[in-house]
Structure 1
Amino acid sequence: MSFLYAGLDPATAVFLFVISFFGSFITVAMGIGGGAMMLAVMATLLPPAALIPVHGVIQFGSNAYRAFVLKEHTFWPPIAAFAIGSLIGVSVGGLIVVDLPPSAVQIGVGLFVVWSVLRKPPKWLTHWPFLTGLLSSFLTMFFGATGVFVAGIVKSHQLGREAHVATHAVMMTLQHLLKIIVFGMLGFAFGPWLGFMGAMITSGFVGTLAGRHVLRRMNDAVFGKVLNVILMLLAARLIWQGIAGL
């Protein structure tokens, strides 16, 4: 069983498997939040150099499965432009030697999310998916979990609850796949983490199925209110972390 733990203490690894379940459950049932929650927990338990690439693989698996089970609800018009922008964003991010200050990124993303909830979404969110794909994918190379940023983009289309979750999952699947490729090209060794990542993804599958049942029983009005509350809480957390890190 040691191949599942990737050098981590077994109790720590099992704890993270449970977190992966609840992360996927929260993301499907409430629309957002699971990836950021899991990143926050993993950041305290994984080696810093492995955190973002390993989290990226886990999120790719979870989002790919989420996109598959909700595929009939996907809103496809912005996907192609978002994918092209994402390809450029991760490529540019991978070429930059000096990392962006994490605190500045956290504060910036947090303020953007607050603005997207309280104000009418700007037209470029809806009409320029290329730009939103580029910006969010660039940020994910340094910040890791930009699902909150992308959720603001998806929210601007005013979709129903299932369409929101499905479209967000497709966008995040594309973004994490590109990030994995770039980290591989930069030399990160994924091999020692394969068992651990596989167990995390499997746990996330189960969480996705459980969360889907909750999603189907929630109406659009309740979903929208819950989504806004979660977005604001996550934004507050990002801003607080950014200020604390200055």
Structure 2
Amino acid sequence: MFTFTTLFDAIPADLYILLTFSAGFTSFFTACFGIGGGVMLLGIMAQVLPPQLIIPLHSVVQLGSNGGRALMGFKHIDWYLIGTFFPGALLGALLGSLVLVALPPAILYLTIAAFILYSCWGPKLPPMALGKAGTFAAGTITTFISLFAGATGPLVAAFIKQLYVDRFRTVATFAMAMSLQHGVKVGVFEGIGVSLTAWWPLLLSMILSGGLGSWVGLKLLNRLTDKHFSGMFSVILSLLALRLLWQAYSQW
């Protein structure tokens, strides 16, 4: 079979196509239903890519995918929240780059799953948790964790879900927050010497495919109501939380 040996280390053509298609489909899923695509893509990439490159490569693809989605929904972004979330994300990335250790997976999964389930089905978070201090803390904690766990999108989404009813504001603000988070993560990985230069042909294909998937997904989002979107958003988040609980159980 023809392989892209001149671009990077012998990536088979079928694998190249699989990852490109997966980036498009998972971006479509996130744009349409608000969440889930990043975790789905991480799971696919974990099956076929070198372990030490999974999170750095995933970060670049998600930066492109979420960045495109944020541009498409630019007018709906809550810039007040972003202005508080981003400094927290920078602090989380700085702390993560200094620690560079793997957190206990079971505890990590249990904590994220518990917060997601509480945010979806429990009482609303207190005003303090949703204010400036809470948003800054969310940016710090989720970015720190994402350097080791990869996809903390469900955690950020669970936080943002507490703030908005409007589906367009939810999707656009979430996309912008994740763009910034993945952006600082890419900076950290570059800073510690993780070189992704040889992988850019594949990454570019995945980013372009993700942009197309986002565009189609946002078109479908127009056909949903805020009520239906909120319900599906909660269900999908809950399914992701159950997956995390299963992963925690498997780690014990």
Secondary structure of the 2:48 match is coil
Which residue matches 2:105? 102
RMSD between superposed Cα atoms in Å: 1.3
Q: Confirm or deny: 8 A CA contact 2:8 2:198 kept in the other structure.
A: no
Q: Shift of residue 9 of structure 1?
A: 2.1
Which residue matches 2:122? 119
Q: Confirm or deny: 8 A CA contact 2:165 2:230 kept in the other structure.
A: no
Secondary structure of the 1:78 match is helix
Q: Shift of residue 142 of structure 1?
A: 0.6
Ranges in structure 2 where 5+ consecutive residues have no aligned partner: none
TM-score, normalised to structure 1, is 0.96
Ranges in structure 1 where 5+ consecutive residues have no aligned partner: none
1:187-236 superposed Cα distances (whole Å, 9 cap, x missing partner)? 00111111111111011011011101110110000000100110000110
Which residue matches 1:220? 226
1:153-195 superposed Cα distances (whole Å, 9 cap, x missing partner)? 1111123011100000010011000000011001001111111
| Code of the aligned partner of 2:77 | T
Q: Confirm or deny: 8 A CA contact 2:29 2:37 kept in the other structure.
A: yes
Are positions 1:160 and 2:166 aligned together?
yes
Q: How does 1:31-110 map to 2 (within 5 A)?
A: 31-110=34-113
Q: 1:18 aligns with which of 5, 16, 21?
A: 21
Give the distance between the partners of 1:209 and 1:6, measured in 2 at CA: 31
Q: How does 1:110-149 map to 2 (within 5 A)?
A: 110-123=113-126, 124-127=128-131, 128-149=134-155
Relative to structure 2, which stretch is displaced further, 89-98 or 168-177?
89-98
1:6–1:116 distance in 2 versus 1, CA, 3 Å: farther
Q: Confirm or deny: 8 A CA contact 2:45 2:54 kept in the other structure.
A: yes
1:122–1:199 distance in 2 versus 1, CA, 3 Å: same
TM-score, normalised to structure 2, is 0.94
Q: Confirm or deny: 8 A CA contact 1:6 1:195 kept in the other structure.
A: no
Q: Shift of residue 104 of structure 1?
A: 1.9
Secondary structure of the 1:43 match is helix
Q: Confirm or deny: 8 A CA contact 2:115 2:155 kept in the other structure.
A: yes
Secondary structure of the 1:44 match is helix
> In the comparison of the two structures, how many residue pairs are matched?
246
Identical residues among aligned pairs (%): 36
Q: Confirm or deny: 8 A CA contact 2:23 2:210 kept in the other structure.
A: yes
Secondary structure of the 1:150 match is helix
